[in-house]
Chains A and B, each alone.
Chain A
Amino acid sequence: MKILVALKRVADPDNANKVKIPPSGDRIDTAGLEWKPNPFDEYALEAALRLTEDGKAPKARAGEVVVVTFGPKETEQTLRAALATGADRAIRVDVTDDKLDGALVARALKALVEREKPDVVLMGKQAVDGDSNQVGQSLAELLDWPMATFAATIQEEQGALLVGREVDGGVAVLRVRLPAVVTVDLRIVAPTSVYSLKTARTHKYNDGVRFAALPAIMASKKKPLAEVKLADLTADSGLKVQYHGFEPPPARKAGIKVKDVADLVARLKNEAKVL
């Protein structure tokens, strides 16, 4: 099975307080931010690796995992890390974030999918910076492929994937014929979430994404990493989303102490207006 995994580099969500907005309010100041792969995309990579191996012998890859990111030269670090974790090959589409929106990424990915011809496109359900949650769905529409979003489990079948989606009140299971687009949710990296045809159903993975092993880190330098121009993928680089301004969330105000229950009820009624 050949899988294309879309990875996005995002500002480290653990350091959200470092996000600064200049007084002009026309953008987010990215200077000094620490970058990390979008966690949901890391889960997608882990799912892709599990789908292309026998869980007992994860060093051998059955098929190919190709990772792609959209970003400037520095985002190659994100790709190298993915290669060190087990991906076979990487592609960087040279562009900066401010020139992109979800629809444009989906159009460019469509062209890339037509070139690469993967059986599955995997990605996180959303990136934790913009939280747009659009690319997977838009891509499936453009390709006219089956789609499963928010995957919590994936089981490989002949020519199809059985995908469990956590929904209110239970798990919806759907079978998507390949080729397909699947976006993943956090439980996809639980020990028994993903099974390739090769992996025994009794096998249990470690919880979470795998760690990069030193020999693989050393070998990742030799794995191919190609650069592609955005213009080579789509002639239409117009943006459908325009940002009109940014402001930080209001600082939280200090709490107050109320005198008694009557005071509390009055404040809930008159100030908080929840009663």
Chain B
Amino acid sequence: MTHPALTQLSEEERFFRDSVLDFAKKRVAPRAHAMDEAGAMDKDLIPPLFELGLMGVEVPEEHGGAGASFFNAILAVEALAVVDPSVSVLVDVQNTLVANAFLRWATDDQKSRYLPRLCRDWVGSYALSEAGSGSDAFALAARAEKRGDRYILNGRKLWITNAAESSLFLVFANVDPSKGYKGITAFAVERDFPGFSVGKKENKLGIRASSTCELILEDCEVREDNVVGEVGKGYKIAIETLNEGRIGIGAQMLGLAEGALDQAMRYIGERKQFGQSIASFQGVQFQYARVAMEIEAARLMVYNAARLKDAGQPFLKEAAMAKLFASEVAERAASQCLELFGGVGFTKEYPAEKLYRDAKIGKIYEGTSNMQLSTIAKLLQAEYGIKG
């Protein structure tokens, strides 16, 4: 039996990818520059993301989703990032973190209450980080105290993607700090729950249209039956959800790199110096050939990790590697492509500088590059039985 190539898409995968790319080029591209300048998502873009089924890719049909594969979600994240990595991450967080966590850990009641909304009109956020807990996620200080049939949440969450648009937040808080990370619990928090508010929005270098805000929990009341997963098992949800999340960020960075190369190739094919197109100079050829090679390698890593996940195979190491590598490729590709544009690449008249700024986040969020290396190393140590 011969295996199909990783990059060989099924008919439905190809339709879907083409449809998302078509949407991105026609509807997102004309707004990307203005959204970047304004530092805000165009509200008109969000309803069509739901209509196209991009906000509940893996959610089964009975809950209002498309019932498609994780790989399809990855294709959507990639295709959107070709045009705008900000819109891409909105879709990414919704699928690979929020819907993913609900699908895996929520009760049937929670699924029937929240999944249809997530597929229809509710953007979701994943709220783990705090000012004092970034890479050291389990040091989080947000508290949850049981009072009768509800929990009272207090604390602040930071760097929460999509927060300005979100209606639903998966908030991690500790019910018993004396138990350390084993007190961490996940809560489904609706935007209009008493005591919940969205705070300051960050003014960022890149992916400026994607909102990143602080969340403020001041005696925020959450029903007991809104605990997602078991009390004290939030750490497990946090860790395991982020495994899929990394593949998503890998896909976002892959799409970004593809977008940068595509823009650059069109430009250098037309731009003439010394009487010939820039693209025909050997020194330039070797530059874009290397970018293309790196993109291909990143694509294989991202697709492989996603296909492993769909096949129910272990994918942790592959996911960490794909995210780490794709974010490095994106940064190099965006930088190189900006240079290929020459002076105009440095201006906001062309999209190269935006992608260069957008690329930087890839090495930082959903686990810094150092954390990915640490994960990979730990898995290798386990394989070889090395302690410490």
Binding site for B on A (CB under 8 A): 77, 80-81, 84, 206, 208, 211-218, 220-221
Contact of B268 with A by CB under 8 A: no
By a CB distance below 8 angstroms, the chain A residues around B348 are: none
Complex: A231 Cα to B38 Cα, angstroms: 61
Interface residues on B, range: 20 to 34
Residue pair A214, B57 in contact (C-beta under 8 Å)? yes
**Contact residues of B between 54 and 88, Cβ < 8 Å to A:** 54, 57, 61, 65-68, 72, 76
Query: Cβ of A213 and Cβ of B22 under 8 Å apart?
Result: no
List, in ascending order, chain A residues with CB within 8 A of B52's CB.
211, 213-214
Tell whether, in the assembled complex, residue B26 and residue A214 are in contact, meaning their CB atoms are under 8 Å apart.
Answer: no
Given known A211-B23, A214-B66, contact A84–B15 (CB-CB < 8 A): yes
B12 interface residue per 8 A CB criterion: yes
Residue contact B54 to A214, C-beta cutoff 8 Å: yes
Interface presence of B11 (CB below 8 A): yes
Q: Which 3 A-B pairs have the closest CB atoms?
A: A214-B53, A214-B66, A212-B19
B66 touches A215 (CB 8 A): yes
Q: Which chain B positions have C-beta within 8 A of A77?
A: 11
**A208 with B66: in contact, given A217-B12, A218-B12, A221-B12 (CB under 8 Å)?**
no
Residues of A within 8 Å of B105, CB to CB, are none
With A77-B11, A208-B26 as given contacts, are A215 and B16 in contact (CB-CB < 8 Å)? no
Q: Is B51 an interface residue (CB 8 A)?
A: yes
A80 to B14, CA, bound (A): 12
Residues of A within 8 A of B19 (CB): 84, 211-214, 217
- A215 and B15: CB pair below 8 A? no
Cα distance A213–B18 when bound, in Å?
11
A140 to B219, CA, bound (A): 72
**Complex CA–CA separation, A84 to B53 (angstroms):** 12
* Cβ contacts A to B, 13 pairs, < 8 Å: A81-B15, A211-B20, A212-B15, A213-B66, A214-B19, A214-B66, A214-B68, A215-B65, A217-B12, A217-B19, A217-B68, A218-B12, A220-B15
Give Cα distance in the complex from A216 to B61, angstroms. 11
Give complex CA distance A126, B61 in Å: 39
CA distance A221 to B68 in the complex (A): 13
Q: Tell me the nearest residue of chain B to A209, going by C-beta.
A: B22
Contact A80 B11 (CB under 8 A): yes
Residue in B16, B51, B61, B65 whose beta carbon sits within 8 Å of that of A217 in the complex: B16
The listed residue with most B CB atoms (<10 A of its CB), out of A211, A214, A217, is A214
Instruction: Verify A214–B23 contact, CB threshold 8 A.
Output: no
Contact of A215 among B11, B20, B48, B53 (CB under 8 A): B53
A87 smallest CB distance to B (angstroms): 13
Contact A212 to B16, CB < 8 A, known contacts A77-B11, A80-B11: yes
User: What is the CB-to-nearest-CB distance from B8 to chain A, in angstroms, rounded to a whole number?
Assistant: 15
Residue of A77, A84, A215, A216 with most chain B CB atoms under a 10 A cut-off: A215
CB distance from A83 to the nearest CB of B (A): 10
User: How far is A216 from B16 in the complex, measured between Cα atoms in Å?
Assistant: 10
Q: Is the CB of B22 within 8 A of A214?
A: no
Interface centre among A80, A81, A208, A217 (most CB of B within 10 A): A217
Known: A217-B12, A217-B16, A218-B12. A211 touches B67 (CB 8 A): no
Residue among A81, A206, A212 with max Cβ neighbours from chain B (10 Å)? A212
Chain B min CB distance to A181 (Å):
29
Q: Which residues of A contact B57 (CB under 8 A)?
A: 214
Q: Who on chain A is nearest to B73 by CB?
A: A214
Separation in Å of the B51 CB from the closest CB of chain A?
6
Question: In the assembly, what is the distance between CA of A206 and CA of B76, in Å?
Answer: 21
Complex Cα distance A217/B66, Å? Answer: 9
Q: Which residue of chain A has the shortest Cβ distance to B19 in the bound complex?
A: A212
> In the docked arrangement, what's the CA distance between A130 and B115, Å?
49
Known A218-B67, A218-B68; contact A213-B51, beta-carbon cutoff 8 A? yes
CB nearest neighbor in B for A58: B51
Chain A residue nearest to B72 (CB atoms) is: A214
Residues in chain A near residue B48, CB distance under 8 A? 211
Set A80, A211, A216: member contacting B22, Cβ < 8 A: A211
B59 to chain A, nearest CB (A): 10
Residues on A with C-beta less than 8 A from B65 are: 215
Q: Beta-carbon contacts of B1-43 to A below 8 Å, as 1s and 0s? A: 0000000000110011001101100110000000000000000
B53, closest chain A residue (CB): A214
